[in-house]
Structure 1
Amino acid sequence: MHKPATHIPQRQIRALYDATTIRVYQAYSENIADAALAQGTFVSPPFKMERMTWIKPSFLWMMYRAGWGFKDAGQTRILAIDISREGFEWALANGCLSHAEESASKEEWLKLKDQSPVRIQWDPERDLYLRPQEHRAIQIGLGKQAVPLYVNQWIQRITDVTPLAHRIHGLVQQGDLEGARQLLPQECEYPTPSLMP
């Protein structure tokens, strides 16, 4: 059992993971979620293979993005997707930041962006009230050849965690933060490959 970090650096991947898989989250409409749960992976159609798809290891960042599954019709179902650690690390190694850092010229960044099938983005992590935190959560955008790899090779298991999201949200609304906290996935520091941007 991995212990959650007490002091969290600004950029650190935190996730629920084991020796072979890491859990990421996505939110979808009923028809995409039902097809994925029935097949054990995303099915095209209704899933669009040609579109960039964003995976998020942070449960609370997913809750912020999807409003606990109540935000809009396209994000009513929260899915937990267990993918291979090899696939996840391939995505990190083949990604570029979605925004140019100060140390790189715009031309260098645009060239790297064009060559990279994956985007890496760091956004403020969220607390139970979905307020932004000082430290960041990673989002990984899969495009080009990364999407078929994700759908056909990396995905090991898909679970509908919408009921869990609604239960935690209900406890937060009641002011039972301790009860809500106990239900959160225990995300711990992921041993980050050195290739990550």
Structure 2
Amino acid sequence: MNTNYQQIRAHFDAKTITVYQAYSKAIALPAIQNNRFEPPFSFNRMTWIKPSFLWLMERSNYGTKSNQEYILGIKLKREAWEKILTIGVLTHPDPKLYKSASQWQELFDAAKIHIQWDPERNLKGGKLEIRSIQVGISRFLIQDFNENWIESIEDYTPLVKKINQLRKAGKYKEAKRLLPSEKLYPTPAAIAKKIGIQ
């Protein structure tokens, strides 16, 4: 894999970075109201967050898949985001980052954060050469994520529906104008090297 194509592109400001998740109504509405997750959200299994809006659109089919009807934009504190990247382990044994497959396996088995690189998507759902990050937060850190890392949770569902309507009508230029602005995230050099950004 050419790590030059691995990038963190995101919507962020001085204090927060927005990551996206898709949930059912039962999970999403309380989260939007309280800026925190509560049951039936599961605190006992890994939850995946993605800073790429279009990657999640492809994954949730623009909020039309079962139990993924609500699209949430979760503003995380940037210090929390960088902390989780620091302790993350890739989901594959990249030989440029790990001395051996066995070393990677040992680190991966003990990891509380998983990091995966997947092809970025365009508005039509096509794969791009650039790879986008998704981060898995294990059950050991989910409470911390929920109680300490989140600044706010916003409902992106109406926006997603509007974008999808424009896509279906072939109005891709209009749809593109509505996308959340994403730019290259200034990942600290030590973290970038550890997770395969070069």
TM-score w.r.t. the length of structure 2 is 0.91
1:76 corresponds in structure 2 to: 69
Output aligned runs, 1:161-172, within 5 Å.
161-172=156-167
- 1:185-196 equivalences in 2 (<5 Å): 185-193=180-188, 194-196=190-192
Q: Distance in 1 between matches of 2:61 and 2:83?
A: 30
Q: Percent identity?
A: 44
Unmatched 5+ stretches in structure 1 = 1-8
The answer for the alignment partner of 1:22 in structure 2 is: 17
> What corresponds to 1:33 in structure 2?
28
- Unaligned runs of at least 5 residues, structure 2: none
Displacement over 6 Å in runs of 4+: none
| Counterpart contact for 1:91–1:146, Cα < 8 Å | no
Give TM-score, length-normalised by structure 1.
Answer: 0.91
Please state how far the C-alpha of 1:106 moved relative to its aligned partner.
2.1
In the alignment, the residues of structure 1 paired with residue 43 and residue 79 of structure 2 have an alpha-carbon distance, to the nearest angstrom, of: 21
Alignment of 1:1-197 (within 5 A): 9-43=4-38, 45-71=39-65, 73-103=66-96, 104=98, 105-193=100-188, 194-196=190-192, 197=195
Q: CA RMSD in A?
A: 1.1
Matched residues, number: 187
CA distance in 1, matches of 2:185, 2:84: 14
Structure 1 residue identity aligned to 2:104: W
Q: Structure 2 counterpart of 1:154, which letter?
A: W
